[in-house]
Structure 1
Amino acid sequence: MKTKRGVQALVLGAALFGEAAHAQSSVQLYGLLDAFVGYKKPLNGQSSVIAGNGGMTAPYFGMRGVEDLGGGTSVIFDLESYFNIQNGTSGRTGFPHDGLFSRNAYVGLSGHYGTVTAGLIPPLLWFSTIQFNPFWNSFVFSPIVLHSYIGVNGQGVFGNAGEWWNSVYYASPAYRGLVGRAMYSFGNEAGHLGQNKWSGQVSYNNGGFATSVVYQQIKFSLNAGDLGTVLPGLTTQSVVNIGMSYDMGFVKLYGQYQHVWDSITTGDVGIDTGQLGFSIPVGVGRILGSDAYSKSSGNSSVYRNTWALSYDYPLSKRTDLYAAFLSDRASRMSTGTTIGGGIRTTF
């Protein structure tokens, strides 16, 4: 069940902000909690029994708002914060750079000519990655998310997983299901004017069919000039991702192809990744399955193969239970396994 990220607006208009009556406004408080218990053995790691955080979706809370300026134009903003449900700390497990509002923090305008925002914004590649796999944005059970953002053997997409700092974003109005998007992130450091990150996307969604093509290029990960500290000798990383999904009612199919090209001073490396997945309704719940395979070429030839199965059972429109199994294999590394069950609820 794709979780909803909000509920109806809690407060409307001038009573909250003291605005003039013609400028209607709304503010919305929302969030998600997800906890699971399971067994985890990472690649080349030791096994443990854990009370985990965000088996299907990393917990977060947020506040978004809109102010109608008239003429079809509105001011929009969004502030979202990750937190660890097992101990109450802020941020995601394993992401030391998460700040208070590290999931989203932006303000902008939306109207007849599209939407433009500025701030901390998740990159277009991230949205394509999670949309075209049945496990959505799970850092625990989604094979394609693990391959892309928790890479091993030098594989992976850099540039920070889930958000770009100092960014500007534009999305065109939808035309018969077709939308164009573009994004740029500044290095914000003197002497590094060419140290940038940018991305473009064309997506189409009509009926049960959806597809997306994304291109992304980065010249820094978190701070200008730091790519070489992420992977020695790395100067530029380029990524193209093609995703598709088709809902036939009795089954929804997912597929992705991704090519990563790392420009390294000692020799370029290419990484090809394919992902296939499905979602099958069974009773009121769904069976989810996905398999991702990555192989590197260039200085070294290594592979990774990860597959996962899950059953998701809704208790209500807001709450679901899930049980999942993941198997992870990679070159010259011992097998990884994750088994767990949990509960997820939105507000």
Structure 2
Amino acid sequence: MSAHRRAAVVALTALAPVSWGTTYVVTTELLPPERPLFTALVRALPAGLLLLVFDRVLPRGAWWWKAGVLGALNIGAFFPLLFLAAYRLPGGLAAVVGSVGPLLVLGLSALLLGRRPALRDVLAGTVAALGVSMVVLRAAGALDALGVAAAFASTASMAAGTVLTQKWGRPEGVGPLALTGWQLTAGGLLIAPLAFLVEGAPPALDAGAAGGYAYLVLVNTALAYVLWFRGIGRLTATQATLLGPLSPLTAAVLGWALLDESLTALQLAGMTLAFGATVAGQLRAPSADPTRPQLTPDNLAPVALPGQRLPAPHVGTGPHQRQSPSVRT
């Protein structure tokens, strides 16, 4: 992939965590309070069904269970655990626990993809987590063990889903719309019984809530996850996850711009660190395109001089030896 194309892929993928960073403002300002599971259900299931209707491609063979596993990790488990953590922990602490996602992805990539973590990626992930901590962490009392466990589990679930998404790729002829639709639908179906069991019937919605849910379904979930899973297919899992700090940074900026929240010098320094680590995580040394044929001694043909006829090359049995026509001039 060329540098310009890689930059375009990174920019489009980055729109996903930026969009997710708007969730806090939309939730607090427009949506009914105390309904996290209903909100998770509305985000996932309608968006998934919409993408399925639009693309009209269903899984085949092993992709039925693969889509179920990815949907459970990326959506079905991630959303409820994330909301449980948000309700039991200060928002800043939940974001700090979530910021270790890139480091978890590095470990899982080594385990499942056989990729040895690069020191640069480890440093970028560590600095990003430090920067997010400086932006969002506030003084708090005693920690809630269940909340911390839920925050870590949600981060680990998303990290595992990200690595498996790259490991399995997509079926031949299937685009990111279908893959995203499968996962959102599977995750939404897992959340549905939990939401109705815990929270009961859906709440009454006013115009503001209806608009907020429409935004979450169409932009914050359907479009954002299509861009995210498309990016995972073109970037490394570590590169994609190192874009994650853009989410709490976006939330902090929107809180300052729209909710009159203040930004201290320490927070601004943390933003600089986190953003710099995010950019550093996208820098890669140029490498050869694996789809481009490489010139080796086995595929270099001799050049005929004027009036010369070259004999057909010897036919061997090696994997790179094959019959070629004679060259005439």
Normalising by structure 1, we get a TM-score of: 0.22
Whose helix proportion is higher, 1 or 2? 2
Normalising by structure 2, we get a TM-score of: 0.23
**Larger RCO, structures 1/2 (Cα 8 Å, 6+ apart):** 2
